[in-house]
Structure 1
């Protein structure tokens, strides 16, 4: 059982530790994937995964968007063509069949998520066709978590109702900012009245959970303007709110070159915005789950974290038991217990691989005992903000303090700044350390210590 603690803001410490670090949706991170791990490696791991007979989590990537959002860092294809979407869906159906043929059909699917891009780029008839393909090859449990990301600019009441009738029970949409000047600067214009209308339709459709994404650090944002955005977001009353830091990386994400860097808020303004966000959301009862995410105390994420059962994967935080994640579509990532694999990132290569009847794997990584040990530690800290050293010692048959002597020495420096408590039996992240959990977990990242030059977003 975890003890729920309030989050504490310390601007000086956040500035001190604000450096580029992985987000640890996996360990090892995708930066360690290599083409040495190919489709043949992934096929062997898929077949081997049947032996443990773990449940499945499915991810479906729809890479298309009608228009470009200038802040975007996702793997997307900007197009108005429905022809390419039909070709993609045909390939996706073939890939689903090919992967399913390698998996035990009796393994239940307890989670499914459609992301992008913009999944509602598809017509609702195309959504229903893809749904039928998936349910033809996989068995969804009656209580499966089935979520979808939507762009509110391209949605209507009937579309949402049909999503809910199909079986989607969770939904997420990107709001980013209510301010019209900010919206115009990032090419994401969506009037306030329309956003409230969309939320009204979502509630009428009775989705079990609604998440809203916000971004701070965008052009023309001020402390006052973002306070107004938070106030309006609270009026929408979502179950979860994700507040992401905008990572301005124009060399990696060319679309961001359309943003005038002189219009971006400075680091001091961003820190103040973050502080006000934390104060406002927590004062309204939302709990800080970690990694930019807040949830109502009645939300399953908050309940799972309090119970010490929260988990994390490429789909974010989850309350579900251990499962193998299978990704479908361009650039999607699969997470098996001992291997990760990522699909091709170029559409033509993806199409040709699937047409040839072979897995569309481009790269991945085989996990070894050391990876599994460090993954367990990193994910426990990321999700629970605490670590039972004795439990790790027993699970992996080692002397924790002796094995991680150098890591504990590094943690003592963080402890001296108040980020965590180093107890005899446990590591406990403090309320001020929760915002810097990436800095704490990075101490256990063997790859990060060995290599430099990796490009990650900053911790804050």
Structure 2
């Protein structure tokens, strides 16, 4: 696999259609309402020797970021966190009682919202509670991570997290330009970011990620390039550069952003083009789907060895795990089934108080789903999938089975973005930035989803 991207803005504009990010297949829009928690209980209690990945959703934020489309609760009343944790412990008890305690937890992630909205004592209580009910593995391969708003860190929070076993952190930065920060209501000086990076390094966190967003109000190629240079100087192990999707009709906070202040489509495309070119020069490897990593980072190494996976936490080295979600709106992936918790805080707590799992939606994968998932995830992670591997896994003639999908790739094949041979389907170096569009050809639900709102790839 070539580590250098081909930047062709005209080709990207031609294929830059809206589509899923494929953190799962079927995607979350295919989940159907659950009439009870019976299916999730059965999935959790099933005999399995798979290791576990645990996700905890902490929905609270002290400030609203205008670009945000996450499931969050903006409040300065920190006592609400205590009530939330009480319900979260109830959910932990219900699910832990169903899962074989001998199954090791290889991965754990706190997301949100703002997980560090919780105090240091609350973080200690939560992790103590989790360790009492699950078998967390503390070794070199374990991956315990947390998303951090640098503005919401106490003087000892990073040390507390390190003491609790967290070895990976992700800092939400988005942009260092003050005018952009003011426009999206997320003001955090560069000195603050530099300080938390220094502290995280000194404390020995194994991997540090920084999130940036392009397409925000007042951004230009020049201003974003300045931000990127300063971030490169900080040398995070990973970088996520997300495309801002302006959907004010869906996300109320975005209505506070003046659409006239947003970069137009050509400028937005140029911003991302400038970014990937500079990151390539700086030695970052393009993992895929907006993610970059240094060559010695675990993600880059896993991709080089053909062991990279993708799930609701994005690219991961622990795709062999069953994922169990806790907290409002969280999603679990257990075996070939997916379950989403109630997205309304009141409904989530009400079901827990009744002794029920807070299941709201679910889907069980068909054989066709599993075949197409294998194709999509292989392309997203490794840019190729071999027909013989599919034949062996599913006892099918995959060339014939997927013929209607591969036929949809003919135009992209003519443009040199993908190759379809008798042996494999492969994304070329020129097509790496359009891999999401390649995957859409194998999405059996795509026609049904064309009226639903997805973000564009770039």
TM-score, scaled relative to structure 2: 0.98
Q: Paired residue for 1:335? A: 333
1:346 partnered with 2:355: no
Q: 2:454 aligns with which of 449, 456, 459?
A: 456
SS of structure 1 residue aligned to 2:445: helix
* Displacement of 1:368: 1.3
2:302 to 291, 297, 304: 304
Q: Does 1:81 align with 2:40?
A: no
| Distance in 1 between residues matched to 2:235 and 2:155, nearest whole Å | 19
In structure 1, the residue matched to 2:58 is 62
Q: Confirm or deny: 8 A CA contact 1:70 1:186 kept in the other structure.
A: yes
1:215 and 1:451, CA in 2 relative to 1: closer, same or farther beyond 3 A? closer
Answer yes or no: is the 8 Å Cα contact 2:310–2:319 preserved in 1. no
Q: Deviations over 1:207-248 (max 9, x none)?
A: 000000000000000110000000000111100000000000
**Which string of whole-angstrom CA distances, capped at 9 and with x for unpartnered residues, describes residues 290-343 of structure 1?**
010000000010011011110011011111251100000000000012110000
- The Cα shift of 1:156 comes to 3.7
For 1:4 and 1:137, the matched residues in 2 are separated by 44
Q: Which runs of 5+ in 1 are unaligned?
A: none
Q: What CA deviation, in whole Å up to 9, does each residue of 1:237-290 have, x standing for no partner?
A: 100000000000001101100000000000100111111111100111100000
* Deviates further, 36-45 or 129-138: 36-45
Aligned to 1:44: 42
In structure 2, how many angstroms separate the alpha carbons of the residues matched to 1:416 and 1:350? 50
The answer to whether the Cα contact below 8 Å between 1:38 and 1:364 also exists between their aligned partners in 2 is no
Task: Select the residue among 146, 161, 166 that pairs with 2:159.
Answer: 161
Q: Is residue 111 from structure 1 mapped to residue 107 from structure 2 by the alignment?
A: yes
Counterpart of 1:12 in structure 2 is 10
> 188, 191, 204: which one pairs with 2:189?
191
Runs of 4+ in 1 over 4 A off after TM superposition: none
Q: Which runs of 5+ in 2 are unaligned?
A: none
Q: Return the alpha-carbon distance in structure 2 between the equivalents of residues 310 and 451 of structure 1.
A: 27
> Deviation string for 1:45-93 (max 9, x for gaps)?
2222xx2221100000000000000000111000011221100000001
Contact 1:171 1:209 in 2 (8 A): yes
Q: SS at the partner of 1:112?
A: strand
Report the equivalent of 1:126.
122
By how many angstroms is 1:38 displaced?
Answer: 3.8
Alignment partner for residue 137 of structure 1, among 119, 128, 133? 133
Distance in 2 (CA, whole Å) between partners of 1:360 and 1:442 is 31
Q: 1:375: which partner in 2? A: 373
The structure 2 residue matched to 1:255, chosen from 253, 256, 277, is 253
Aligned residue in 1 for 2:279: 281
1:442 corresponds in structure 2 to 440
The range that moved more, 425-434 or 285-294, is 425-434
Give the match for residue 94 of structure 1. Answer: 90
Q: What is the CA deviation profile of residues 339-381 of structure 1, one whole-angstrom value per residue up to 9, with x for unaligned ones?
A: 1000011111111111111101111111111111111111111
Alpha-carbon separation, structure 2, partners of 1:78 and 1:153? 15
Q: Secondary structure, in 3 states, of the residue corresponding to 1:395?
A: helix
Question: 1:17–1:459: 8 Å Cα contact kept in structure 2?
Answer: no
| The 10-residue stretch of structure 1 (386-395 or 293-302) with the greater mean CA deviation from structure 2 | 386-395
Aligned to 1:313: 311
What's the counterpart of residue 365 of structure 1?
363
Deviation at 1:4, TM superposition (A): 3.8
Residues 370-422 of structure 1, C-alpha deviation per residue, up to 9 Å, x if partnerless?
Answer: 11111111111111011111101111111112111111111122111111111
* Greater mean alpha carbon deviation, residues 280-289 or residues 411-420: 411-420
| Cα distance in structure 1, aligned partners of 2:398 and 2:211 | 39
Match of 1:446, SS? coil
Q: Give 3-state SS (helix, strand or coil) of 1:432's partner.
A: helix
CA contact (8 A) 1:38 1:363 kept: no
Q: Is the 8 A contact 1:4 1:306 kept in 2?
A: no
8 A contact 2:311–2:319 mirrored in 1? no
